[in-house]
Amino acid sequence: MVEELFYYLLNTTQMQAVILAAGKGTRMHPLTLEKPKQLIQAAGKPIIDHIISSLPKEITEVIVVVGYKGDMIIDYCGDEFCGRTMHYVWQHNPLGTAHALEQARHLLHESFLLMYGDDLVDGTAIGRALQHKSCLLAYEHPDPRAFGVIELKDDGTLKTIVEKPENPATNLVSASGLVLHTDLFDYYNEWPETGERYITHALNRYAQDHPVHIEQLAFWYPMNSLEQLKEAEKSLQSL
């Protein structure tokens, strides 16, 4: 714990965040036919506004991985947004989340926050996650079978993430938000034969050698469909 605190004091005065925002958002048609999902309005402002404004003050630089209609995101956010310096990299081929993150590799240093560009989570939990070198944000879900289910080691750190298990070992699921270290890229060496590369694959191998802490979210609003968007809007309006 002392080592973790020392690391936190050294490295969280200024940190980077990466937001993955390259997907086409096909499940959000017709809203995404004319704009990327991140610019769809939710409770009066675009989704990307909610995400970036929820980031803790320690996050001073944001890197957005863009793809589908990415120029619209760049034009909207510009060089500075919500008091943060903005950078952009492109994922031209949809080859998975690990591939998307790799496009930002040359801009990253030490630990950074990774967020998905269609999920909203509470900033308080993000702040706690920043205290660790590596951390996974988790959410207790009543039916975890449709998600990546988190299994824990005896010390409470990550053992593995099992995608969509029929018989989940826990009800903790992997939500949007991870604090990762650039040494994760050392585990970018084995991939399934499907062709797409996902962060979960590398993170499971990384967790065998390094502690990945878990912080639980008070709320998590994924917006991967029109139905989820409506649910998220209701919740945001009540906050």
Evaluate if residue 10 carries a pLDDT over 60.
Answer: no
Residue 20, both tokens: 């993955």
For residues 97 and 114, what is the distance between their CA atoms, to the nearest angstrom? 10
Whole-prediction pTM: 0.91
What single letter denotes the amino acid at residue 232?
A
Evaluate if residue 226 carries a pLDDT over 90.
Answer: no
What's the pLDDT tens digit per position in 57-113?
Answer: 999 999 999 999 999 999 999 999 999 999 999 999 989 999 999 999 999 989 999
Q: Which of 91-95, 155-159, 228-232 has the lowest mean pLDDT?
A: 228-232
Higher-confidence residue of 176 and 37: namely: 37
Domains and CATH numbers, the chain: 2-238 (3.90.550.10)
* pLDDT bracket for residue 6 (50, 70, 90): very low
Work out the average pLDDT over 204-217.
Answer: 96
| Bridge partners for 180 per DSSP | 112
Cβ(63)–Cβ(103) below 8 Å: no
**CA neighbor of 199 nearest in space, from 220, 214, 178:** 178
Quickly tell me which residue has 């404004």 as its tokens. Answer: 53
Work out the average pLDDT over 199-217.
Answer: 95
Cβ(188)–Cβ(165) below 8 Å: no
The 8-class DSSP code of residue 22 comes to -
* pLDDT bracket for residue 17 (50, 70, 90): very high
